[in-house]
Chain A
C-alpha cells in the first residue's frame, strides 16, 4: 500500500525566511504532484514532477524529486504572506496511468510579519 508522509504538518514562518517541506513516499512512483489549497477553496496544481532529479520553480517555490530516495521537497524562498496556505504532495503509484493519487496529510503554512 502506497503511503505518503509530509513534514512538517504545521509551519509558521517569518516573512523573508527560507524553509523546506518534505514529502516521503513508500513505494515506486513515476509521478509526484504538489498542490496548494487556500481555506475554503479548491486545490490548485503547483508542480508536476515526472523523473528523478526533476526540479521545477515558480516564483518563490521550488520543487524537486529524488525517486531513489522516494523524496520530494518544496522549498520556499523569502516567504511572503501570500504563500500562507495548505500544501499537499500527491503520488501516483508506479504503473498507474492516471489520476489515482495518494495524498500526504498536508502542511499548513502560515507566514507572518
Chain B
C-alpha cells in the first residue's frame, strides 16, 4: 500500500479515443503531480497542483488535460493522443514547503496508444 492509488493500471487506446487516468492519495498531502516515464528517457514532470491550483505546466501538449477537484484526487484526461505518448504515467503527492518532503508515487498507468 503506497498511499497513492492509480487506476487503471493498464490502458490501451486508439488515437481518436478519449480516456481519463485517475489518482487518489490518502496521505494528507496538499500537492499532487503527474510525471511521464518513457523508455530510454528520464522521468518528466508534466503538471503540479498545490492546494488544487495548477502551479506548473511543463509545456505539455493540450491533448493532456489535468483536473484536480480537491487535494486528494487528480485526473489526467486524454484525447487524440499520438503513439509517442505511450508511456508509464505516474502520479505523486507530497507536502509542500521547504522541508524536503519526498514525493510518494503511485504504481502508475501503463498507456499504449495504437
CB within 8 A of A99: which of B44, B92, B106, B107?
Answer: B92
CB within 8 A of B42: which of A50, A98, A105?
Answer: A105
CB within 8 A of B90: which of A30, A43, A97, A98?
Answer: A43
Q: Flag the segment in B14-22, B69-77, B97-105 that touches A.
A: B97-105
Instruction: Bits for B21-60, please: 1 = Cβ < 8 Å to A, else 0.
Output: 0000000000101000000011111001010000010000
**Complex contacts, A98 vs chain B, CB 8 Å:** 31, 48, 50, 94-97, 101
Q: How many residues of A contact B (CB 8 A)?
A: 24
Instruction: Bits for A84-101, please: 1 = Cβ < 8 Å to B, else 0.
Output: 000010100000011111
Establish whether residues B42 and A103, one from each chain, have CB atoms under 8 Å apart when the complex forms. Answer: yes
Establish whether residues A42 and B100, one from each chain, have CB atoms under 8 Å apart when the complex forms. Answer: no
Instruction: Bits for B78-98, please: 1 = Cβ < 8 Å to A, else 0.
Output: 000000000000101011111
* CB of B66 closer than 8 Å to a CB of A: no
Docked complex Cα distance between A23 and B44 (Å): 17
**Complex contacts, B104 vs chain A, CB 8 Å:** 45
Chain A residue at smallest Cβ distance from B41: A105
Which residues of A are interface residues toward B (Cβ below 8 A)? Answer: 4, 30-31, 33, 35, 41-45, 48, 50, 88, 90, 97-106
> Given known contacts A45-B102, A100-B48, A102-B45, what 20 new A-B pairs fall within 8 Å (CB)?
A30-B98, A33-B102, A33-B103, A42-B4, A42-B90, A42-B108, A43-B92, A45-B103, A48-B102, A97-B96, A97-B98, A98-B48, A98-B96, A99-B31, A99-B92, A99-B96, A101-B45, A102-B42, A103-B44, A104-B42
